[in-house]
Amino acid sequence: MAIDNQFRIGELISSGSRAIVSKDEVSGNHTFTIGSKKTVDTPYPHIKGERDGELTGRIEKPKYDEEQLKKAVDTEVDELIVSPREPSPDVVPRALYEDMRNQFLAVSAELAIANETIQDLRAEISSLESQVQSLLIQLDALSLQTAAAQNEAQATNDRYTTLLQDFSTAIVKSTKEGIERVSLKAQTEGLIAQKESLREQLKALNLIVGQLESQLSGAAAESSAAAAGLSPGADNEFFYGVTQEGKIDQAWSAQDIGWTTSRRNSKTSGKAGSLDIKNLRDDEVKITKLDISTVGSTPGNKRILGFTDGASPSLSKSVDIEVGAQEKVDLYFSTALSSLGRDTYSGSWKVKVTYSDGTTSESNNISWGLRVNRG
């Protein structure tokens, strides 16, 4: 077939192997005919055999502009190369840059101190874990002692039953064995007394086991609270911690919580952080109330902080903290503090917890810081 027979090429492309008519539909073999003069009407009228063994192909030769190719050889392109720029001037004032750099170094130093503190706390946690393991070993030993005491009590009960049987048999056999019967009764009473003594020992061991389990549970809870960064209260029955929110001002960064405002553009919200309280009582007693009190006098005798937002934040808050639970409450500085003179202030405050049984306890001193700017 000629290479320029575009009709045949299109037919092979669109129909594929179906356009090859030399294939027998039954046997699948190809039969090629040479020198035939018979006319076949499918797929269009043609002489039988003239379409057998056809091959198609196309040769393309790309055409290039030789003159343009010669121009592109060894050509240096420098239009897109930009000349080096001159050094730009400082876009931030040098004094501000140095101040921010000093602040960064100070924060880095504080971070290093915090990492050391974390390492110390981890060491303390490891020590507490060792103590817990020691208590567990002691508990296992007491459990073994309890099991041994129970076995001995069971053996005593078995001996007591046997003696009673022997005693009954002796009564049936003869009333003449009174002396032996009295002796057996005395032995029985002794065994009963020994049994009661063993029962008291078992009760004492169970009490010791309960106390050790309570101590182990309390130690685990205290370890968990200490690992979370909380501090124990005065009665060691509740733990507390303060979390600062927002940007920390260098003027009061050493305090536990702080706030910055200004005389002209005073802040409308005193939100500064939160207080975490965890109840570790072991007698199902809840924490029902929190109270904040400042230590010593305050600037301008003003209220420093509380549990509500505004010029006079509330110093009390009702809560319902179950045993083992932890609750977070928001802390607010008084927005009226913006009327103080432009200065930096600091002091301490405490939080008192009230339990559902009416008893109270309070935290250690917690530091606060305040900075009042001019504008």
Q: Does pLDDT of 6 surpass 90?
A: no
According to the model, what pLDDT value does residue 313 have? 95
According to the model, what pLDDT value does residue 343 have? 93
According to the model, what pLDDT value does residue 113 have? 93
**Model pTM above 0.95:** no
According to the model, what pLDDT value does residue 93 have? 81
According to the model, what pLDDT value does residue 13 have? 60
Rounded to the nearest 5 percent, the helix, strand and coil shares of the chain are: 40, 20, 35
Summarize the confidence of residues 190-197 as an average pLDDT: 84
| Cβ pair 326, 277 in contact under 8 A | yes
What is the overall mean pLDDT for the chain? 81
According to the model, what pLDDT value does residue 1 have? 43
187 conformational bin, left if phi > 0, alpha if psi -120 to 50, beta if neither: alpha
Q: Does pLDDT of 80 surpass 90?
A: no
Give tens-digit pLDDT for 22-47.
556 666 565 556 666 777 776 667 77
According to the model, what pLDDT value does residue 166 have? 81
According to the model, what pLDDT value does residue 2 have? 44
Nearest to 293 by CA among 337, 241, 351: 351
According to the model, what pLDDT value does residue 19 have? 57
Confidence band for 204, pLDDT divided at 50, 70 and 90: confident
According to the model, what pLDDT value does residue 285 have? 92
* DSSP secondary structure string for all residues of 21-79: TTB-TTT--B----S---EE-SSSSEETTTTTT------------HHHHHHTTT----T
Least confident of 17-31, 122-136, 140-154: 17-31
Summarize the confidence of residues 193-205 as an average pLDDT: 83
The H or E element that residue 341 is part of is none
According to the model, what pLDDT value does residue 17 have? 58
CA distance 281 to 264: 48
Share of the chain above pLDDT 90, in %: 36
Nearest to 237 by CA among 85, 111, 363: 363
CA distance 216 to 223: 10
Place of tokens 């929110």: 245
Residue 95 makes CB contacts below 8 A (sequence gap 6+) with none
Name the CA radius of gyration of the chain, rounded: 48
| Cβ pair 49, 32 in contact under 8 A | yes
According to the model, what pLDDT value does residue 300 have? 87
Q: Does pLDDT of 352 surpass 80?
A: yes
Residue 107 makes CB contacts below 8 A (sequence gap 6+) with none
Looking only at the bridges linking them, the beta strands covering 238-244 and 231-232 are antiparallel
Summarize the confidence of residues 296-317 as an average pLDDT: 93
According to the model, what pLDDT value does residue 361 have? 94
Confidence band for 189, pLDDT divided at 50, 70 and 90: confident
Place of tokens 């700017």: 373
Confidence band for 172, pLDDT divided at 50, 70 and 90: confident
Residue 39 makes CB contacts below 8 A (sequence gap 6+) with 45, 46, 47, 48
According to the model, what pLDDT value does residue 373 have? 92
Please state whether the peptide bond connecting residue 89 to the residue before it is cis, i.e. omega within 30 degrees of 0: no
Within a 10 A sphere around the Cβ of 13, how many other Cβ atoms? Answer: 10
Give tens-digit pLDDT for 232-267.
999 888 999 999 998 899 989 999 999 999 998 889
Least confident of 89-93, 215-219, 248-252, 367-371: 215-219
According to the model, what pLDDT value does residue 197 have? 84
Least confident of 24-33, 92-101, 309-318, 355-364: 24-33
According to the model, what pLDDT value does residue 3 have? 44
CA distance 373 to 260: 8
Q: Does pLDDT of 287 surpass 80?
A: yes
Q: Does pLDDT of 60 surpass 80?
A: no
Least confident of 85-94, 107-116, 187-196, 346-355: 85-94
Question: Which residues on adjacent β-strands are paired with residue 278?
Answer: 239, 326
Within a 10 A sphere around the Cβ of 23, how many other Cβ atoms? Answer: 13
According to the model, what pLDDT value does residue 239 have? 93
Summarize the confidence of residues 304-333 as an average pLDDT: 94
